[in-house]
Chain A
Amino acid sequence: MGFALTMLVPLGLSWLWQDGATSAYDEAFWLSFGTGLGLWWAARHATTDLKVRDGFLMVVMVWTLLPVYASLPLMLQLDISFTDAYFEAVSGLTTTGATVLANLDTLPISINLWRGMLVWLGGMGLIVLAVAVLPLLGIGGRQMFKAETPGPMKDAQLTPRMTHTAKGLWAVYAAITCACALAFKWAGMDWFDATMHAFTTMGLGGFSSHDASFGFWDAPAIEAVAIFFMLLAGINFATHFLAVHGRSLKPYRHDPEVGWYLAVVIGSVFGIAIYLTVLDIYPDFGTALRFAAFNVVSIATTTGFANTDYNLWPAFAPLWMLFLSSFATSAGSTGGGIKMMRAIILFKQVYRELMRAMHPNAVWPVRVGGIPVERKILFAVLAFGFIYMVAVAALTLLMSLSGLDTITAFSAVIASINNTGPGLNQVGPATTFAILNDFQTWICTFAMLLGRLEIFTLLVVLTPAFWRK
């Protein structure tokens, strides 16, 4: 059953590994290229069509096995344990941005580039995952984006075949990345930093080549560029594609998520800025707005850059930012969390239940962008929202069972499952995840994968029923 999909693995691998500059890269490259070639050779005659079940396994394998190979250069070059290297690689490929490495400024350039590239590649993978693959697998109501849905959603389907879709989306992604890199250079970064940060900005990852993250430059122009592109990357790339393709801004207006996304994020920016000014954290509103804008956008879009240690702010501000990260970004973006689309559906469903309590016999379809949402999708979205919260609660309990304080445990889980990056307290923006012990690191790794694969994809593969003939 799995033969056909194993053929795809080397394809991905072999082109992933083209920057083998040092001996670490050489070894890693040959090892992964060798494994890939071997698998492909052994299975070259098995070209059956992929089934839904294969799709699940394929997606899970890509996101669990690729990090093994991706972690090789880190492990070989930087004297860190496999646990930490795998964590770092998963953090990159899931575009989380949580790191166990300190002294980033002194790392070899190629290692930092590799970390940035991991995020960027991860972003590429998950745009296609979100727009093309998960809808086919029907994860957590994603089938909504399938071609059957009438109306504006239909346009969002782009071309029916996955490879075509992928090419279109990747072109947009690459184009925006180039623009981002140029803008960073223009705003004052050097070429290397501009490229690396363009990678991590567009992937909404959050790795930086400096310990101080964006605090290194302390330049409002650079921050403004980052804010703009982070906001851009938090929007559905299918919408970007349609806008670019049709040379019109109309798709943004039709996208039911964009309005809410921008309103929630910008509203929070101003709210937090006022909150910080009132509590006298910053002397004037302008400074407060600058720091609030950068950090709120960064966390809400699940990027994870910081230009100051916001862990020192009153607890409400960082908590609110983490809360935003759990739902603000759009489906089909490189962001994490439950996605704005699901949040809208959940909210409307609750309102409908309130109405139905008053008028038990009335029929109230839940509509998004004017289209009634199918019952099946409603169930899937509700179940997704529920299991997301259960996952957060369960993993937090596990972390606190292993001896962490509640805030560190909770924020580490939230930051990992939303693929945001930095948490609070001991894993806050000024520190790293290196203080976690191995068990806790593995939990965070698991949480990142769980969040990135939208929980169900991973859980399905873990059920016994999946493996029965």
Chain B
Amino acid sequence: MHRFYPLLRVFGALLIGFSFCLAVPMALSWYVGDGAHSAFDEAFVATLACGLGLFVSLYRERREMKVRDGFLLVVLLWTVLPFFASLPLYLQLDMSFTDAYFEATSGLTATGSTVISGLDRLPLSINFWRTFMHWIGGMGVVVLAVAILPLLGIGGRQMFKAEVPGPMKESSLTPRIAETAKGLWGVYLILTIACAFSLWAFGMEPWDAVMHAFTTLGLGGFSSKDASLGYYASFEIEVTVMFFALLSGINYATHFLVLHGRSLAPYRRDPELPYFFGVLAISILALTFYLLALGTFDTFGTALRYVAFHSISLATSLGLATTDYGQWPFFAQIWMLFLGSFIACSGSTGGGVKMIRAMILYKQVYRELLRAMHPSAIWPVRIRGAVIPQNVLTGVMAFGFVYSVSMVTLTLLMVASGLDIVTAFSAVVATLNNTGPGLNLVGPAATFAVLNDFQTWVCTFAMLLGRLEIFTLLVVLTPAFWRK
């Protein structure tokens, strides 16, 4: 146990920081007097006390963090913080711990699946907290993806480490995590403010504008309305959300380089962007024609508007909705969920396997085809001219495989517990990709409240698995990790 003290000390410090995040909705609750302040008071005090207790009692335990500590810290953060984050929900709303923890995990992993209905009647501070969790989660995800996972070498992420020659090198930014984090968070904050002001300018209430800006930039999906964005039925608001969701689906390191260098060149050099936009644009057009042909919509304009919004919302793993697309022909729904599993760029707040891995997987398969014809030829896999090292390749392929296996296994578990296949599969895909709404019983017009406790925990696990890029969580679960 002793060897974990330095790690727990750092964790205590982070917990203190997190308690100040809780102070924000607390202050809001006092200010507007929505009756939820006692719940936030207690949650704030409990979090602060735990954090201080850990930090003070272990104050002398300092040492350099090792790779193994890194894994444990990341896993601790994403499993224990939701516990504290769920306290206000648990105390204020009459819900079980299972549901509250699910909701908080959904918030902090920027998933957006909810078990709460009647959102319009919730206290303002509770809704604010739900979306604020997305935003904090998004901050964490950006740093995790750009700075921490590459160091841990998860699923080929070491590609982004400084050793790799060529264009990737610039993406590693400044070597130290703290510096990187500050730079990325600056960009994140600027985009959020821009989004909030745009939403406000197009007619949202100020608080709603802030909350939906949080949700959009974190690519979460919580809304303060049961009808989600459909409540506003405003074309301008939809376009704004689409625009910022697309921005947030791009690598924040690229955004940073653009702002830093005041030039658009980094966008051109980003290998993921052409595919990100290309696949989305083709999907949107194709689905629009498909729905027009099947008579779901009357005019091209309407079809395009709804298809564009939901394709972007689900593909970037946002999960807001303006209509019940559960009524659309089945193919359209499945296709949009499918997009969510790979479209978002690495280093964005989106989920799934990420575009760069999808590209590498595709190229590797093509290479195997060529190698079958010419067994002795050497075909390096290249991304933008840079040769991908072998261990990155195996890492990416193993990631793709274990991602699919997780999906299948968790779906089987859900089906074994009595759900129908479509609900089970879509719930797993939506949570593993951190998208939000699934299909059928957990579709956009319903909530995850229909699941029983066991199924809710499976979904909670899937959200964590997806957000921590599977390996991070699995490593900590192996016996070898705990051996001396």
Instruction: List residues of chain A with CB under 8 Å of any chain B CB.
Output: 52-53, 56, 137-140, 143, 275, 314-316, 319-320, 323, 346, 349-350, 352-358, 360, 375, 378-380, 382-387, 389-390, 393, 397, 400-401, 405-407, 410, 456-457, 459-460, 463, 465-466
- Distance in angstroms from A332 CB to nearest chain B CB is 19
On chain B, which size bracket covers the interface?
35 or more
Task: Type the 1/0 row for B396-422, where 1 means its CB is closer than 8 Å to any CB of A.
Answer: 011111101100100010011010111
- Tell whether, in the assembled complex, residue B397 and residue A315 are in contact, meaning their CB atoms are under 8 Å apart: no
New A-B pairs, 19, CB < 8 Å, besides A53-B373, A390-B365: A315-B420, A316-B412, A349-B398, A349-B401, A353-B395, A354-B474, A355-B480, A356-B391, A378-B394, A379-B394, A382-B394, A382-B401, A383-B367, A397-B334, A400-B334, A406-B334, A407-B421, A465-B369, A465-B370
Cβ of B405: which chain A residues have Cβ within 8 Å of it?
350
Q: A386-B365, A397-B338, A401-B331 are in contact. Are A357 and B152 (CB under 8 A)?
A: yes
- Tell whether, in the assembled complex, residue B375 and residue A52 are in contact, meaning their CB atoms are under 8 Å apart: yes
Decide if B330 is an interface residue (CB 8 Å cutoff).
yes
Which of A53, A140, A353, A380 has the largest number of chain B CB atoms within 10 A? A353
Which residues in window 381-400 of B have CB below 8 A to A? 390-391, 393-395, 397-400
- Tell whether, in the assembled complex, residue A354 and residue B369 are in contact, meaning their CB atoms are under 8 Å apart: no
Q: What are 20 A-B pairs with beta-carbon distances under 8 A?
A: A275-B416, A315-B415, A319-B412, A349-B394, A349-B398, A349-B401, A350-B401, A352-B398, A353-B395, A355-B478, A355-B480, A357-B475, A360-B153, A379-B368, A380-B371, A383-B367, A390-B365, A397-B334, A406-B421, A456-B368
- Tell whether, in the assembled complex, residue B361 and residue A386 are in contact, meaning their CB atoms are under 8 Å apart: yes
Decide if B84 is an interface residue (CB 8 Å cutoff).
no
A19 CA / B393 CA spacing, docked (Å): 53
Decide if B305 is an interface residue (CB 8 Å cutoff).
no
- Tell whether, in the assembled complex, residue B365 and residue A353 are in contact, meaning their CB atoms are under 8 Å apart: no
Q: A139-B372, A354-B478 are in contact. Are A383 and B365 (CB under 8 A)?
A: yes
- Tell whether, in the assembled complex, residue B416 and residue A353 are in contact, meaning their CB atoms are under 8 Å apart: no
- Distance in angstroms from A5 CB to nearest chain B CB is 16
Which residues in window 459-479 of B have CB below 8 A to A? 471-472, 474-475, 478
* Contact residue among B331, B335, B371 (Cβ-Cβ distance under 8 Å from A138): B371
Cβ of A314: which chain B residues have Cβ within 8 Å of it?
418
- Distance in angstroms from A405 CB to nearest chain B CB is 7
Cβ of B334: which chain A residues have Cβ within 8 Å of it?
397, 400, 406
Cβ of B472: which chain A residues have Cβ within 8 Å of it?
357
- Distance in angstroms from A382 CB to nearest chain B CB is 4
A137 CA / B338 CA spacing, docked (Å): 33
Cβ of B404: which chain A residues have Cβ within 8 Å of it?
386, 389
Decide if B67 is an interface residue (CB 8 Å cutoff).
yes
- Tell whether, in the assembled complex, residue B153 and residue A357 are in contact, meaning their CB atoms are under 8 Å apart: yes
Decide if B20 is an interface residue (CB 8 Å cutoff).
no
- Distance in angstroms from A440 CB to nearest chain B CB is 13
- Tell whether, in the assembled complex, residue A382 and residue B421 are in contact, meaning their CB atoms are under 8 Å apart: no
Cβ of B243: which chain A residues have Cβ within 8 Å of it?
none
A390 CA / B67 CA spacing, docked (Å): 34
- Tell whether, in the assembled complex, residue B330 and residue A383 are in contact, meaning their CB atoms are under 8 Å apart: no
Q: A349-B398, A389-B404 are in contact. Are A383 and B368 (CB under 8 A)?
A: yes
A389 CA / B365 CA spacing, docked (Å): 12
- Tell whether, in the assembled complex, residue B408 and residue A323 are in contact, meaning their CB atoms are under 8 Å apart: yes
Decide if B481 is an interface residue (CB 8 Å cutoff).
yes
A368 CA / B425 CA spacing, docked (Å): 33
- Tell whether, in the assembled complex, residue B330 and residue A406 are in contact, meaning their CB atoms are under 8 Å apart: yes
Decide if B68 is an interface residue (CB 8 Å cutoff).
yes
Cβ of A465: which chain B residues have Cβ within 8 Å of it?
369-370, 373
Decide if B364 is an interface residue (CB 8 Å cutoff).
yes
Cβ of B471: which chain A residues have Cβ within 8 Å of it?
353-354, 357
Decide if B154 is an interface residue (CB 8 Å cutoff).
yes
Cβ of A349: which chain B residues have Cβ within 8 Å of it?
394, 397-398, 401
Query: Is chain A's binding surface mostly helix, strand, loop or mixed?
Result: helix
Cβ of A379: which chain B residues have Cβ within 8 Å of it?
364, 368, 393-394, 397
Cβ of B478: which chain A residues have Cβ within 8 Å of it?
354-355
A320 CA / B416 CA spacing, docked (Å): 9
- Distance in angstroms from A293 CB to nearest chain B CB is 19
- Tell whether, in the assembled complex, residue B481 and residue A358 are in contact, meaning their CB atoms are under 8 Å apart: yes
* 8 smallest beta-carbon distances between A and B, as pairs: A382-B397, A316-B416, A383-B368, A353-B398, A401-B331, A316-B415, A389-B404, A383-B365
- Tell whether, in the assembled complex, residue A380 and residue B398 are in contact, meaning their CB atoms are under 8 Å apart: no
- Tell whether, in the assembled complex, residue A138 and residue B372 are in contact, meaning their CB atoms are under 8 Å apart: yes
- Tell whether, in the assembled complex, residue B412 and residue A383 are in contact, meaning their CB atoms are under 8 Å apart: no
Cβ of B425: which chain A residues have Cβ within 8 Å of it?
406
- Tell whether, in the assembled complex, residue B475 and residue A358 are in contact, meaning their CB atoms are under 8 Å apart: yes
- Distance in angstroms from B132 CB to nearest chain A CB is 32
A381 CA / B412 CA spacing, docked (Å): 24
Cβ of B395: which chain A residues have Cβ within 8 Å of it?
353, 356
A257 CA / B130 CA spacing, docked (Å): 50
Cβ of B390: which chain A residues have Cβ within 8 Å of it?
375
Cβ of B475: which chain A residues have Cβ within 8 Å of it?
354, 357-358
Cβ of B397: which chain A residues have Cβ within 8 Å of it?
349, 379, 382-383, 386
- Tell whether, in the assembled complex, residue B331 and residue A353 are in contact, meaning their CB atoms are under 8 Å apart: no
A52 CA / B158 CA spacing, docked (Å): 37
A314 CA / B420 CA spacing, docked (Å): 9
Cβ of A353: which chain B residues have Cβ within 8 Å of it?
155, 394-395, 398-399, 402, 471
Which residues in window 135-149 of B have CB below 8 A to A? none
A135 CA / B33 CA spacing, docked (Å): 74
- Tell whether, in the assembled complex, residue B394 and residue A406 are in contact, meaning their CB atoms are under 8 Å apart: no
- Distance in angstroms from A265 CB to nearest chain B CB is 16
Cβ of A143: which chain B residues have Cβ within 8 Å of it?
375
- Distance in angstroms from A361 CB to nearest chain B CB is 10
A354 CA / B394 CA spacing, docked (Å): 12
Cβ of A378: which chain B residues have Cβ within 8 Å of it?
394
Which residues in window 356-381 of B have CB below 8 A to A? 361, 364-365, 367-373, 375
- Tell whether, in the assembled complex, residue B394 and residue A320 are in contact, meaning their CB atoms are under 8 Å apart: no
A350 CA / B154 CA spacing, docked (Å): 12
Task: Type the 1/0 row for B102-142, where 1 means its CB is closer than 8 Å to any CB of A.
Answer: 00000000000000000000000000000000000000000
- Distance in angstroms from A292 CB to nearest chain B CB is 15
A160 CA / B31 CA spacing, docked (Å): 84
A278 CA / B382 CA spacing, docked (Å): 53
A187 CA / B408 CA spacing, docked (Å): 39
- Distance in angstroms from B391 CB to nearest chain A CB is 8
Cβ of A382: which chain B residues have Cβ within 8 Å of it?
364, 394, 397-398, 401
